[in-house]
């Protein structure tokens, strides 16, 4: 079946066309127009600016998706769109475009949960079968969750952040260190620079909730620890707020922050895997692009959980994209009742965007 998907939940306007069968997903186009440069001036995503850009970009992005896939609307069997969670003005741009296309082209329409899309990015890249039950570690700009999947499109959240999401913490720490936005890739590069030149990092940062006994996380305290460390450093070295921090100090703090973050994520994933005995472990969300996290989970599985398989999305599918939304739509469509499937033809009338919606409740 051929699916056209749209994703506009945050600051990427994305459209993709996939052809899916149970054996194989072929990505025919995966177009992403990023607004990162625009939002970087403000140090984070401005919802109304994002919506304005989505509205401007959505038609060119859709046109390019169809052209690259070398196809027309006639071959599309299903339209999918990110419906939740996200910034409402941004989500509405994609949802309105998808509803208009579904109405005008007489196509069924399906709303997809953004996090479900990130999880299904693993099915896009997997070179072997993903066997259930699976445990997903979701790490994005808005979410940090451990999720159990007993079968397709069924989710039980067993732990989540009590405050900041891990991607948000990367972004905030980058801001404290005077680095740009988004923070994840820059912190990761700075941490690597430190690791390449220094063997041991004498600086260690706290890992909140490490001994909490549950599968929840907290990253706000870690971010505050970096803030106080930097304040202290400025005071000791007579540096004003406007003065740039020395490069080697930035590298060292970036390394300590990334190490603490990766360590706590790996530690809680290992504990959850020991308790729930999944066959597969999936990494999902924008922070899944982090090399250290990918390596650390790989090492943990090789050492402690060699009977389990780790899946990580291919790099082009880690950050927000519409191919992952199309893939989630395929599996959802395959696993829905005939009645619900038939109702998709009238979704152009009723589909709504939601800022928040629990993944466990998606239908
Ligand atoms: O999933 P995503 O693209 O958007 C949301 O759904 O939130 O994730 C974006 C987040 C940002 O916070 C960004 O800093 C982080 O992913 N990120 C990374 C890396 N690349 C992106 N964090 C750590 N290391 C990276 N290499
Ligand atoms: Zn995302």
Which pLDDT band, with edges at 50, 70 and 90, does 137 fall under? very high
Judge contact between 126 and 280, C-beta under 8 A: no
pLDDT mean over 206-221: 96
Torsion sign (Cα): 324, 330, 332, 333: positive
Can you tell me which atom of ligand 1 is nearest the CA of 167? 12
Atom 5 of ligand 1, residue of closest alpha carbon: 141
179 CA from centroid of ligand 1 (Å) = 15
Determine the pLDDT at residue 44.
86
What are the pocket residues of ligand 1 if the criterion is a CB atom closer than 6 Å to any ligand atom? 10, 140-142, 167-168, 170-171, 182-185, 188, 285-287, 289-290, 319-320
Judge contact between 308 and 279, C-beta under 8 A: yes
Q: Which of 32, 34, 50, 141 to probe ligand 1 with, by most ligand atoms within 8 A of CB?
A: 141
Type and span of the H or E element at 17 = strand 12-20
Determine the pLDDT at residue 43.
84
User: What is the CB neighbour count within 10 angstroms for residue 208?
Assistant: 21
State how far the Cα of 100 lies from the Cα of 106, in Å rounded to an integer: 10
pLDDT mean over 95-120: 98
251 CA from centroid of ligand 1 (Å) = 19
Cα–Cα distances (Å) from 294 to 36, 90, 135, 202, 301, in that order, read 24, 30, 15, 23, 11
pLDDT mean over 321-334: 98
pLDDT mean over 154-175: 97
Let me know if 228 is exposed, middle or buried by CB neighbors in 10 A (0-12, 13-18, 19+). exposed
72 CA from centroid of ligand 1 (Å) = 33
State how far the Cα of 122 lies from the Cα of 204, in Å rounded to an integer: 32
Determine the pLDDT at residue 125.
85
Q: Report pTM.
A: 0.97
| Mean pLDDT of the chain, nearest integer | 96
Which pLDDT band, with edges at 50, 70 and 90, does 228 fall under? very high
Let me know if 17 is exposed, middle or buried by CB neighbors in 10 A (0-12, 13-18, 19+). buried
% residues pLDDT > 90 (the chain): 94
Let me know if 286 is exposed, middle or buried by CB neighbors in 10 A (0-12, 13-18, 19+). buried
What pLDDT digit, counting tens, does each position of 345-359 carry? 999 999 999 999 989
What pLDDT digit, counting tens, does each position of 1-18 carry? 999 999 999 999 999 999
Can you tell me which atom of ligand 1 is nearest the CA of 118? 1
Q: Which of 138, 139, 287 to probe ligand 1 with, by most ligand atoms within 8 A of CB?
A: 287
Can you tell me which atom of ligand 1 is nearest the CA of 12? 3
Strand partners, 147: 136, 157
What pLDDT digit, counting tens, does each position of 286-327 carry? 999 999 999 999 999 999 999 999 999 999 999 999 999 999
pLDDT of 363 above 80: no
Alpha helices in 43-113 (DSSP H): 47-68, 88-105
State how far the Cα of 19 lies from the Cα of 76, in Å rounded to an integer: 9
Determine the pLDDT at residue 213.
93
Q: Which of 294, 316, 319 to probe ligand 1 with, by most ligand atoms within 8 A of CB?
A: 319
74 CA from centroid of ligand 1 (Å) = 35
Determine the pLDDT at residue 24.
92
Which pLDDT band, with edges at 50, 70 and 90, does 186 fall under? very high
pLDDT of 67 above 90: yes
Length of the chain in residues, anyone?
363
Identify the nearest ligand to the CA of 192 by its number: 1
State how far the Cα of 183 lies from the Cα of 185, in Å rounded to an integer: 6
349 CA from centroid of ligand 2 (Å) = 26
Tokens 């953004």 correspond to 114
Determine the pLDDT at residue 338.
96
Alpha helices in 240-319 (DSSP H): 247-276, 291-304
Structure tokens at 36: 């990162």
């Amino acid at each position: 079946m051929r699916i056209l998907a749209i994703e506009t939940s945050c600051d990427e306007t994305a459209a993709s066309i996939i052809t899916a069968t149970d054996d194989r997903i072929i990505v025919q186009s995966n177009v992403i127009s990023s607004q990162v440069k625009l939002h970087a001036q403000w140090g984070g995503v401005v919802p109304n600016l994002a919506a304005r850009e989505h509205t401007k970009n959505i038609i060119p992005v859709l046109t390019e998706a169809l052209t690259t896939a070398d196809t027309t609307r006639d071959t599309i069997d299903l339209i999918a769109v990110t419906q939740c969670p996200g910034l409402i003005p941004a989500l509405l741009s994609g949802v309105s475009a998808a509803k208009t296309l579904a109405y005008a082209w007489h196509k069924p329409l399906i709303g997809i949960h953004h996090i479900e899309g990130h999880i299904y990015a693993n099915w896009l890249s997997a070179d072997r079968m993903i066997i259930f039950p699976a445990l997903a570690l979701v790490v994005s700009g808005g979410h940090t969750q451990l999720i159990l999947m007993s079968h397709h499109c069924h989710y039980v959240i067993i732990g989540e952040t009590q405050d900041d999401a891990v991607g948000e913490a990367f972004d905030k720490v980058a801001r404290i260190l005077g680095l740009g936005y988004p923070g994840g890739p820059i912190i990761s590069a700075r941490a690597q620079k430190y690791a390449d030149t220094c063997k041991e990092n004498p600086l260690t940062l706290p890992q909140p909730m490490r001994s909490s006994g549950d599968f929840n996380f907290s990253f706000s305290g870690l971010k505050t620890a970096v803030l106080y460390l930097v304040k202290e450093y400025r005071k000791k070295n007579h540096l004003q707020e406007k003065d740039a921090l020395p490069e080697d100090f930035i590298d060292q703090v970036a390394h300590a922050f990334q190490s603490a973050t990766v360590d706590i994520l790996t530690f809680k994933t290992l504990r959850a895997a020991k308790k729930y005995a999944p066959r597969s472990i999936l990494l999902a969300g924008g922070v899944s692009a982090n090399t250290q996290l990918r390596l650390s989970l790989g090492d943990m599985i090789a050492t402690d959980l060699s009977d389990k398989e780790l899946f990580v999305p291919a790099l082009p599918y880690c950050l927000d994209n519409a191919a992952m939304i199309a893939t989630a739509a395929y599996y959802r469509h395959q696993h829905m009742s005939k009645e619900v499937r038939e109702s998709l033809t009238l979704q152009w009338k009723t589909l709504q965007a939601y800022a928040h919606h629990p993944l466990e409740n998606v239908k």
